[in-house]
């Protein structure tokens, strides 16, 4: 009897139906999103990003230790040197450490002096396998490549959605939602001053991919319902969001749980990436429900276009 009750409960959860009137709050959501994007743009222009070594230039040192060092103690030692932002991570194995040091323009220290200060804090038997300098020119090139990567990915997704669903309104709605997610993530980086590096670009592209995946699921259901039902378009779009809401929430919650575990146990190296991803999952889920689908109606999509 107990097993049967449990089985019925699981089936009930899987077949749970939502009937939330999301479109009732679409203008509130639009106002909230416009405010969020405006605040993100303001933060980006005033506080700017805390650019890392990848974009500002600096020094990379690969060192082999005789015994695995304590990374927390190592970070404290390097921070006390006051030579700029630093990244310390294992490289290949626990005995090999990669130091990424940013040179501050006004600290009156040469590259050689920074490297020597670092060596003074490490054991005498440390084997220095590689010392490289990343110049500002390389950083500018990486910045340009990163901007192009984000822009081209957004354009490619817009074109794909347009042809996939035979309507420019679908593509433009998805593009606006993606731009909303990317800009708000940039605002998140500006507000928190988490170091912005190549891993941050990877986080933004991953957030865009996650968000568009949620949006495509809703759009697919909209296309199916356009054929199956004669409801008014507003009711049809609202119905489609509710029908996919269970899947959207389950995906977001399980992803957040995995990211939370990484945030707690993953160490300092991945905290910036994971923090951005957690924000991206939340904002991506929100935009898929409240932004992308309502914009289809806002841009003037008509049912006859889908049926023709």
Q: Which two tokens stand for residue 19?
A: 């009937």
The whole-angstrom distance between residue 76's C-alpha and the CA centroid of its chain comes to 28
For residue 57, is pLDDT > 80? no
Residues 60-69 have pLDDT tens digits of: 788 888 888 8
47 neighbors 193 (Cβ within 8 angstroms) = yes
* CATH code of domain 58-134: 3.30.70.3400
What pLDDT is recorded for position 136?
A: 62
What pLDDT is recorded for position 104?
A: 59
For residue 278, is pLDDT > 90? yes
Residues 183-218 have pLDDT tens digits of: 999 999 999 888 888 888 889 889 988 888 888 888
CATH class held by domain 18-51+138-307: mainly alpha
Residue with tokens 């997610």: 181
For residue 148, is pLDDT > 90? no
226 neighbors 307 (Cβ within 8 angstroms) = yes
Residues of the chain with CATH 3.30.70.3400: 58-134
126 neighbors 99 (Cβ within 8 angstroms) = no
Residues 77-114 have pLDDT tens digits of: 888 777 767 778 777 677 888 888 776 555 566 777 77
Residues of the chain with CATH 1.20.1640.10: 18-51+138-307
């Amino acid at each position: 009897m107990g097993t049967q009750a449990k089985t019925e409960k699981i089936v009930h959860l899987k077949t749970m139906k939502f009937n939330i009137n999301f479109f009732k709050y679409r203008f509130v959501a639009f106002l909230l999103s416009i405010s969020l994007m405006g605040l993100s743009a303001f933060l980006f222009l005033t506080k700017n990003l805390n650019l890392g070594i990848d974009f500002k230039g600096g020094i990379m040192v690969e060192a082999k230790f005789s015994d695995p060092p304590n990374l927390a103690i190592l970070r404290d030692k390097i921070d006390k040197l006051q030579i700029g932002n630093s990244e310390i991570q294992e490289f290949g194995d626990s005995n090999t450490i990669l130091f990424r040091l940013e040179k501050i323009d006004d600290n009156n220290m040469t590259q050689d002096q920074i490297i020597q200060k670092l060596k003074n804090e490490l054991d005498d038997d440390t084997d220095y396998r590689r010392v490289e300098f990343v110049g500002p020119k390389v950083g500018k090139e990486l910045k340009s490549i990163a901007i192009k990567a984000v822009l081209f990915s957004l354009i490619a997704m817009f074109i794909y959605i347009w042809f996939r669903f035979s309507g420019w309104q679908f593509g433009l709605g998805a593009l606006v939602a993606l731009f909303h997610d990317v800009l708000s993530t940039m605002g998140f980086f500006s507000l928190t001053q988490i170091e912005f590096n190549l891993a941050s670009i990877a986080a933004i592209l991953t957030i865009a991919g996650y968000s568009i995946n949620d949006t495509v699921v809703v759009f697919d259901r909209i296309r199916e319902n356009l054929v199956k039902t004669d409801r008014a378009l507003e009711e049809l779009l609202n119905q489609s969001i509710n029908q996919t809401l269970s899947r959207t929430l389950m995906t977001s919650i399980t992803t957040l749980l995995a990211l939370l575990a990484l945030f707690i146990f993953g160490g300092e190296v991945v905290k910036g990436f994971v923090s951005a991803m957690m924000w991206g999952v939340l904002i991506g889920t929100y935009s898929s429900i409240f932004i992308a689908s309502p914009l289809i109606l806002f841009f003037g999509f008509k049912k006859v276009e889908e049926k023709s």
